[in-house]
Amino acid sequence: MPRERLIVIGGVAAGMSAASRARKRSPAMEIIVLEKGRHVSYGTCGLAYLISGQVARPDDLIVYPAEFFRTKRDIDVRLETEAVEIEPGHKTVHALARGTELLSLGYDKLVLSAGGAPAVEISGADLPGVFTCNDLAGTIRLCQFLEQEKPRRAVIVGSGYIGLEVAEAFRRRGLDVAVLERSGTVLEGVEPEIGERVEAALREQGVRLRKFANVSGIAADARGRAAAVAHDAGSEPAEIVVLSTGIVPRTALARAAGIAIGPTGAIAVDERMLTSAASIYAAGDCAETRHLVTGQPAYFPLGTTANKQGRVAGENAAGGRASFAGIVGTLVTKVFDLEFAKTGLNEVQARAAGFRPRRVTVQSHSRARYLNGKAILLTLVWDQPSGRLLGCQMLGAEGVAKRIDVAAMALHARLHIPEMLHLDLSYAPPFGPVWEAILVAANEAMKQQG
């Protein structure tokens, strides 16, 4: 009897999690991973550290090479093989290997994990000297350009967390850095008082931030290379440009196959990661999820979600019954010497979602002040009528990244402010003040509740 066959399209976070989980669940299943690039299973989240030099070699980002999956996990990883069409009616995937060889592969189960693509709809985006920091191959090219051309002036388009990570990496390499942001704030969704401090930190680090600078195009020099970025308020000279203007889910294959796309523009899935097509699952940056605070479909492309969704898709594709309920929108990043973290909704998003939000901001410390505790700025958003916690943001030089997880947990548990007042959180002077920042904020919120 032929082995049941699982095909996975895309071999990074979601794809390799799905393939590995399916193999654990089913030793007998045939598993094929189609990856159009040359690498699988690498840490995309570490790409900016390759640019800064904190990660010495591209290979250091690779978790397991393709050969490991072939020999140790019996997973047939096919590099430089792009899926070009899915025929759900015939349970067949058509793929192009190394750009020439056309393959038609039947499947019993299929996992779509093709990720997201950088949004680069800017004229001049294809000029030499213009890059994205979205995958390993592209970031290796960017690093080679830095080594060979030794550019001095960099322009980063977009001030999301990836743009700011690249800004830091460039400053570490001694480049002059300008960041162009079309809106009035860095780190989309940040609360105003936290955003202001992030902007101050950027200025202190020598980054020129231009807000309300909607980019209209990239101009070339006489040699045809990127030389300036034109925007609403003028033009910024550049010898290297990095576009970090967001991620759009790769849905072309799914759309062409008639698979339903959700309201966010990503592939619609249920809790089992099943799409609208029988036997086809989707996971990671190509798929949407549910926001557990709003209850609505959401697109929140992060590695932490991609790994979990991939695992659930792989488990179910191999006959299991796993589910992924959704996310609360937790993100943490480093902006030079500061840690920024958020979870849930900010005040504006909460209002847009139909809540009647209130917000408090408190200042606390990472540990006892007499042990040189560093300031932590924390905002808490809750729903006034019900008292339900809706979101939390934090900024500080230390102790922020993991503190946010308490708030994320509280959102998952749908806690209300009164239930948070006396949470039994850990305390000893080297690790925090006796009143944890989130407890101080909950107390303040309680006072405002009356």
- Decide if residue 306 touches ligand FAD (CB under 6 A): yes
In whole angstroms, give the CA distance from residue 268 to residue 274: 8
Cα separations (Å) of 392 from 78, 102, 212? 43, 50, 26
Cα separations (Å) of 184 from 167, 192, 214? 18, 10, 11
- Coil, strand or helix at 175: coil
- Decide if residue 10 touches ligand FAD (CB under 6 A): yes
Q: x-or-dash pattern for ligand FAD, window 94-123, by CB under 6 A?
A: -------------------xxxx-------
Cβ-based nearer residue to ligand FAD, 142 or 350:
142
| Options 40-48, 63-71, 360-368, 373-381: segment touching ligand FAD (CB under 6 A) | 40-48
Strand partners, 85: 94
Q: How far apart are the first and last CA of the chain?
A: 70
In the range 261-300, which residues lie near ligand FAD by CB under 6 A?
284-285
Q: Tokens standing for 42?
A: 């690498």
- Decide if residue 44 touches ligand FAD (CB under 6 A): yes
Cβ-based nearer residue to ligand FAD, 304 or 443:
304
- Decide if residue 41 touches ligand FAD (CB under 6 A): no
Q: Which of 6, 7, 8, 12 binds ligand FAD (CB under 6 A)?
A: 12
Q: Nearest approach, Cβ of 87 to ligand FAD (angstroms)?
A: 14
Cβ-based nearer residue to ligand FAD, 44 or 276:
44
In whole angstroms, give the CA distance from residue 287 to residue 297: 10
In whole angstroms, give the CA distance from residue 36 to residue 297: 29
Using CB under 6 A as the binding criterion, the count of chain residues that bind ligand FAD stands at 34
Instruction: Tell me whether residue 45 is one of the annotated catalytic residues.
Output: yes
Cβ-based nearer residue to ligand FAD, 83 or 438:
83
Cα separations (Å) of 111 from 21, 75, 92, 386? 12, 14, 13, 40
Q: The tokens 């249920």 sit on which residue?
A: 270
- Decide if residue 20 touches ligand FAD (CB under 6 A): no
In the range 176-235, which residues lie near ligand FAD by CB under 6 A?
none
Instruction: Tell me which of 45, 143, 286, 392 is the catalytic residue.
Output: 45
In the range 66-85, which residues lie near ligand FAD by CB under 6 A?
82-83
Strands 116-118 and 130-131 come out as unpaired
Q: Nearest approach, Cβ of 93 to ligand FAD (angstroms)?
A: 9
- Decide if residue 34 touches ligand FAD (CB under 6 A): yes
- Decide if residue 37 touches ligand FAD (CB under 6 A): yes
In whole angstroms, give the CA distance from residue 268 to residue 261: 5
Q: Nearest approach, Cβ of 48 to ligand FAD (angstroms)?
A: 5
Q: Tokens standing for 320?
A: 């299991």
Strand partners, 154: 177, 240
Say if CB 35 and CB 77 are below 8 A apart: yes
Q: How many CB atoms lie within 10 A of CB 86?
A: 25
Catalogue the active-site residues: 45
What does the binding site for ligand FAD look like in residue numbers (CB under 6 A)? Answer: 9-15, 34-37, 44-45, 47-48, 82-83, 113-116, 133-134, 162, 165, 250, 253, 284-285, 301-304, 306
